[in-house]
Amino acid sequence: MDEKTEELRDLFVDATGSETVTDRQEEPPGSLLDRDDDAVADRVAALVATMRERYGFDSDLDDAQYERVAAGFFDGEDDAAIADVVGGSGSAVDARAVRDARLDLHLVADADRDAPFEYAALKRLLAADRSVEAAAAELEADVETVREFVPVARADLASTRVNDRFRDEFRALLTDADIEDAHAATAREDGLREATEDIETDVSL
């Protein structure tokens, strides 16, 4: 490989984070550009039903309410706001019930993991079947504080065991993830093209 080719290759790696050149893929099926709202709703309902059958749910919400919880989560609504919509006026549905439903769906927010101890250590202890009391002792934390984070850690562990399948599919169905990924790929390609043009200009001079 000559000096110019090697420099172009280094620029490609810097711009794309990859050493392999691939053709640009077309917009994947199911993107927001052409997705059918009814089909999305049907798929979300199917995911909720599958998870209820597989795991059992901790809250008393019905499937339609779980679907609304998922949609609200990816719309950036907090648990209290979702509870207002799901339950309506005078309903017993509160933010705690919505949190439980989110965790049933493996939808863990970053704020849920903000523990006053090492959260990753809690996950390791629970994965090793340690009791809450034993985990609290090892973490040197209050038992009730640890207990508050146990459902979060268990949701993360359950999601990890299925390679985040449900969480990722909800995200793909309920967000602009496909479009954002396509835009990121385009930006990387544009950066590579501009860098390559600059190199070619320098070489010609």
- Kindly list the domain boundaries of the chain, sorted by start residue: 28-106+166-187, 109-163
Q: How far apart (Å, rounded) are the C-alpha atoms in residues 27 and 32?
A: 10
Look up residue 144 and give its two tokens: 């009730």
pTM of the model: 0.70
Query: With contact defined as beta carbons under 8 Å apart, do 57 and 101 qualify?
Result: yes
Q: Which residues contact 172 (CB under 8 A, 6 or more apart)?
A: 30, 178
What's the whole-number mean pLDDT along residues 67-79?
Answer: 97
* Nearest residue to 154 via CA among 117, 129, 171: 129
- Pick from 181, 165, 173, 168: which is nearest to 35 by CA? 173
Instruction: Give the CA distances from residue 173 to residues 27, 30, 54, 150, 151, in Å, rounded to whole numbers and listed in that order.
Output: 15, 8, 20, 28, 25
Closest CA to 159 of 98, 77, 102, 96: 102
DSSP state string for 5-64:
HHHHHHHHHHHHS-S---PPPPPPTT-TTT--HHHHHHHHHHHHHHHHHHH--SS---HH
Q: Which segment of 104-108, 140-144, 187-191 scores lowest on mean pLDDT?
A: 187-191
Q: What is the pLDDT of residues 168-183, one digit of tens each?
A: 999 999 998 544 443 3
First vs last Cα of the chain: how many Å apart?
21
- Determine the Cα–Cα distance for residues 128 and 24; give it in Å rounded to an integer: 44
Q: What is the pLDDT of residues 77-131, one digit of tens each?
A: 999 999 999 987 666 799 999 999 999 999 999 999 999 999 999 999 999 999 9
Q: Is the pLDDT confidence value at 187 over 50?
A: no
pLDDT score of 14: 56
Whether residue 52 has pLDDT greater than 50: yes
Half-sphere exposure of 201 (CA within 13 A, CB side): 6
